[in-house]
Structure 1
């Protein structure tokens, strides 16, 4: 590493022949020698380059070597450059002492000792290379530290995501256990009740009307279980990219109208009502089963959180899109919650105990996205919520 660091040397003398002689003495392939005839030229070079050392002649017209050295020591960029003075003056002038006072690391008298000059230059060049190599090592360590900090930040983020995933898994298992237990408990109680009547030969418990009621209750519980299982299967399909879309041509207005007829028992149980505005047929190519699934999810949420207020449903076409709007006048959704309700296992409101896995809106958004459409929400707390589904009219799903 040290041999790859090229050293720059500065020599300053007012006599060109002295510069050439000194350059020939210290120049090598791994060194660049810069020459200056006076202090002004030297200062320009010092501002432009980073030198391993400077060899200054003491006696120069204008600014002499000592003054140039003092200026170098007063400048941040040049204050650490080793300075070697050379002078033809006699030793009796005590220039060496003054040179050391000016910050020089050595003082040479002319005529120069060739071996001494080469030896001193070699020492200072080697020191420079060691400093540069150390600087590179420090920079490499600093870069490594920054990379480690970045990696640590990523690891911490990953850890937080894993912890969140574990919490979501635990919450999900808790929700699944609760949601599955509810219809199962109903079925178990119905079965136990029938066994008790059979054990007592109580034929009056199995009249036609009572049998119809039993079958209706069983059917509701089985439908609840089926819906939970289908939701979990849909999430698995979405994660593996296997959510299938089978488009056929149908009238969206008719689909929603028929669906609302099937929702009559849920509407009655919620103590609410649904008003439909679908004045014109809206025909397009979509997956009828999946679109019905989305609308069912939106209607279910509107009835759950609608505070028994009427629900408005509108189907229309606008700007080359088919649109379905479901509006309730219930508890509303805060701006913060609007950003997360389309995530897995999220509820519209954590303060309201409601059934479901918190997957309906997540699945709905994925279904609509698979059709090339969008689903959005507009809401304020206490003022209800409007969910709007937009589907392309002329796009292939």
Structure 2
């Protein structure tokens, strides 16, 4: 709304009609005192203020408006028929006016200026509102950040405390595992030893008894292997410093350890292009020990096992990533010509105590591949397999170089 202030009724009427023709809302006051009272009660977008008025003149009204935070930003256009000298015009601007128009007023010029200053006033109000909103948003975000920082600090303290507790419990668990392993394996060793003594001394002529003894010995051996595998699985939670590891050397050691099985099964192991990685040699050795043992175990009848182990540098951490001589990862493949498996059970083979095959026919604890998966994940790598029943299995490992 626009406020027109003039002591002459005819001037007010003429200005009011001029503005209302252009659909502008108008209010009027016939003195400076009346104008100030109205300004206290109503918000105006523009004030057209006559300079020469009895009592409080236009300059005095403008000075009062400029001294108040509530009204200092309201644009004021001065009108004067008498004070046309430069010093009066300058005083108008000094007291806060945005323009100084002399009478008689050109209606077209007045409307143009009024609309211009109204538009500027609207933009100024929008900017102020936006600034206020942004200021509140900053305050809210600052408060939220401070609150978040406090929560993060509190949560960090909790996590540090829990981590310390877990480390202590992990240490206790490792000690417990060693003790339990020793205490469990010792009586099994004695059972196995005494059963063998009974077999050799007293049961040489009783075939049925010999069969029962052999079954008992095998059961004791399976129990001993299970305890060893469980202990190996529990050890993987401890931290071991990684080092530069040559996978070629690791595989060579595993092949040497399994040479009796390789000779017995007339297996062929083909190894080529294996990289060096940063890792824990003993753990990586365990991975390949389990994979090669599986390839030698799950074989086809009357067919010599063929195990192929190869490596290549790849672009990124993905099982199917393309080869890239400048990549930061390697893919190691362990392929055999054994019985294979159905890929719909792929996830199952890496779960502890899970087995897809008859335990009586293919002995094992069901822990080997679970150990391999845990080790590879501790090395920030990936492991999976591809297979078709009767056509062998291919295990794929991705490790960072």
Same fold by TM (over 0.5)?
Answer: no
User: TM bucket by the smaller chain?
Assistant: 0.3 to 0.5
Higher relative contact order, chain-length normalized (CA < 8 Å, sep 6+): 1
